[in-house]
Structure 1
Amino acid sequence: MAKLNVNGAVREFDAEGDTPLLWVLREQLGLTGTKYGCGIAACGSCTVHLDGVPTRSCVRPVSTVGPEEKIVTIEGLSRDGSHPLQKAWVALDVPQCGYCQSGMLMAAAALLKAKPNPTDADIDDAMSNICRCGTYNRVRAGIKAAVQGSTRSAGLAIQHADGSVT
């Protein structure tokens, strides 16, 4: 049995060393929030953090990740959806189909950790994930809203059923 440090816990798994990290996370550890999209590290649906760095897990052999390295998946971003990006994503209805969004959120979280107040160019450079639905403008707005702590700061006001506006 080999070990990985995932979302703050050491987890055991049994897989061949050339197995992609993505499949260990999904199939062995049951963390299905990280998605398979292309298998060639192009789309970003499989993005996780490896020691804080956004990493495409579909092409990363599990044998290259040691138990001392810290992996964070979408499930570890926050346990209750309280991360500012998750709140902004919900408030602004960022996802359309949602398939790419766990990877988008992980890439955006890494961006904000590295650059807490990113420019549009910073966002464009960091967000290399592919969204087949084309929600890129909403992703940018969500990142800006998370930075400012408000959907209004992203140039979008959301009127809720109770009449309140954020």
Structure 2
Amino acid sequence: AQAPARAVARGQFARGVLSALERRTGDRSWGAADFRKTVTRVLPRLVDQGDPAAIAAAARALEDGYHDVREAGATALVQLAPAGDRAIIAALAGGVAHSSRGVRLAALRCLGGFASDAEHLPIAALEQCLLDGDAFVRWEAARLAAAARAGGLLRAA
């Protein structure tokens, strides 16, 4: 009887945290941004994988005004969403074009663990990152391309 009660309490707690996160979405203060970052980072530990509300919250974090929150959102998405989810891959592919280097890097790292086959790997986004002005982004894109090639996701031209 304790296990179901704990599950209910955990679910209620998670819903409360998600509600608090949503209320602070428009707040531009540093404290609110730090709260959004912290909550987004722990979301995967609060809910079960595939939780639609948590996935939506992590996806919203990709559009946050603070790069730390966006990076936390990209990382949380990979942990929360099922591998190969096209909507999440599209959101992450959009992240590789972001002006923030940290967001581009986080999006690339997440894509590497998330795109399960060639159909899901956003090749155009990967090519864009191989030409990026930042050496770290280019390196991460090259690493992802090499891993995709080794895994049979890409063929030699």
TM-score, normalised relative to structure 1:
0.33
RCO greater where, 1 or 2, for CA within 8 Å and sep 6 or more? 1
Q: Which has the higher helix share?
A: 2
Q: Which has the higher strand share?
A: 1
TM-score, normalised relative to structure 2:
0.34
